[in-house]
Amino acid sequence: MFKYQSEIEALNDCAIICPPTNIYPFQGLLFRYVHNSECENSRNNNLPVKKKSPNRMIDNDDFRCLAVASLSCFDTYEQALEFFEHKLIGYPNIAATLGCCIGQFVVNDEHGARTESNVKGHFSFFEYEDMNLESLCETITNIAKCNP
């Protein structure tokens, strides 16, 4: 079972396939944006997009599944940093939303399953029930100013 199983089942009831059929258990490192512990937004670390922003409109069924039940991740620190820097061009305050740090997490196949990476190294990670990704964070590197 997945951490957001009831949300997944609700999507499936609406004929939205969630999670995608091509996910697989994963063992290794993943990188994602987080807020450091001094930032008040750190309470939102490791929440799916729709949990952080419930009113956000999503009109694509594939993305709706990812936004409701998965975490956005990257294969490498460099890929996460490059994506962040690219987003800064159009959204100078993006750190308030995404996170002011990049966290490195060590996971194994008992923690969750993932999608394939896109060309930018981005993938979605579906946590298993009772998983606490926060406890698997090994390092956090500041990449922007945090607004506590």
pLDDT in tens, 61-115: 889 999 999 999 999 999 999 999 998 888 888 888 888 999 999 999 999 999 9
Distance CA 63, CA 127 (A): 17
Is 94 part of any domain? yes
Task: Please give the biggest Cα pair distance in the chain.
Answer: 42
Please give the residue range of the domain that contains residue 69: 5-142
What is the domain count for the chain?
1
pLDDT tens, residue by residue, 33-71: 998 887 778 888 889 988 888 888 888 888 999 999 999
Is 148 part of any domain? no
Is 147 part of any domain? no
Is 95 part of any domain? yes
Please answer whether residues 117 and 124 qualify as being in contact, where contact means their C-beta atoms are separated by less than 8 angstroms.
no
Is 63 part of any domain? yes
